[in-house]
Amino acid sequence: MDDDAQPHHIRFDGQVAIVTGAGRGLGAAYARLLAQRGATVIVHDAGVAQDGSGSDRSVADAVVSEIMRSGGTAAASYENLEEEGACARIVAFALECHGRIDALVHNAGLVVFATLEETTPQLWRRMQAIGVDAAFHLAHAVVPHMKRQGYGRIVLTTSGRAMRVEDCVPGLIAYSATKLAQVGLMVGLAAELEGTDIRVNAISPVAATRVLRRHAPELLPDLVAPAVAFLASSACRTSGAVVNAAGGRFSIGAWARREALDLGSGVATPEAIAQHWPRLLGDVPSA
């Protein structure tokens, strides 16, 4: 293979990356790897309990200390993403300290199992605040800077739980809504930023964390982190992709658009749709 065909060694020297929810699990793995590759990392974590309550600054501080002991550069941010203005303050903190932002990884999320009847308006608003509103407000704050800078990478977070009924479980209505909303945000941003060197993609991770309580060595967060590091790097020239990552296995997720079934130029009847429904679903091969 020619040298030109070999991928360049991915580094983040001189770059600044924000990682939300970086005090534990996947976010901590992302922050550590970006720092190991030379990035100055803003380690954001409000230090909340799994239900979103409380606040413990030591959660973010511990990751910052680990990075600095390893020779990296990091600073902690403790903003609660449920609060109005929190996202703008995270971005302003990064700019005040370092003058630039090259990558934004929005990993922070909240998982509360609740059926439709159990999902109160208050719970719904909390889930939306972190999973949807925060993603939007972070992008809203960081994209103008990236435009002025002429460069940027944004990595949002989705979930297979939100994309396929067979992969979902009862009690994840609000969670699924927030995760799929980030795919829509990714698509809209990617379209709007086409022609710039700002790339927007999403990660759909599976790892053993306090959210997915499976103590499986093959599902270590560190095995997902390389995909995020790639998406956050200048080596990624793609926008609008969803990367599925689990246990060192990676794939691109996409909606399947099947071949259209022509029912004539007139107005089709509901009965005709019913008759051809198995074929539309792909259960019957085309003639």
**Residue spans per domain, the chain:** 11-253, 257-287
For the chain, percent of residues with pLDDT exceeding 90: 68
For residue 164, name the pLDDT band (cuts at 50, 70, 90): confident
For residue 267, name the pLDDT band (cuts at 50, 70, 90): confident
* Helix 25-36 and helix 58-69, axial crossing angle in degrees, nearest 10: 30
For the chain, percent of residues with pLDDT exceeding 70: 90
175 is catalytic: yes
Distance CA 195, CA 150 (A): 11
Q: Which residue has the higher pLDDT, 50 or 68?
A: 68
Residues 6 or more apart in contact with residue 206 via CB below 8 angstroms = 160, 212, 219, 224, 244, 245, 246, 247
Look-up of token digits 């053993």:
208
Mean pLDDT across the chain = 89
Q: Which range, of 3-12, 64-73, 180-189, averages the lowest pLDDT?
A: 3-12
| Residue of 30, 78, 151, 175 marked catalytic | 175
For residue 2, name the pLDDT band (cuts at 50, 70, 90): very low
Q: Give the predicted TM-score (pTM) of the model.
A: 0.90
Phi and psi torsions of 279, nearest 5°:
-70, -40
Distances in whole angstroms, Cα of residue 113 to Cα of each of 54, 69, 105, 172, 249: 18, 37, 25, 6, 27
**What confidence score (pLDDT) does residue 47 get?**
84
Distances in whole angstroms, Cα of residue 17 to Cα of each of 75, 94, 102, 162: 11, 9, 6, 27
Radius of gyration of the chain (CA): 21
**What confidence score (pLDDT) does residue 42 get?**
98
Task: Decide if pLDDT at 235 tops 70.
Answer: yes
* Helix 173-192 and helix 134-149, axial crossing angle in degrees, nearest 10: 20
Distance CA 98, CA 68 (A): 16
Class assignment of domain 11-253?
A: alpha beta
Q: Which residue has the higher pLDDT, 140 or 113?
A: 140
Token code pair at residue 65:
């200390």
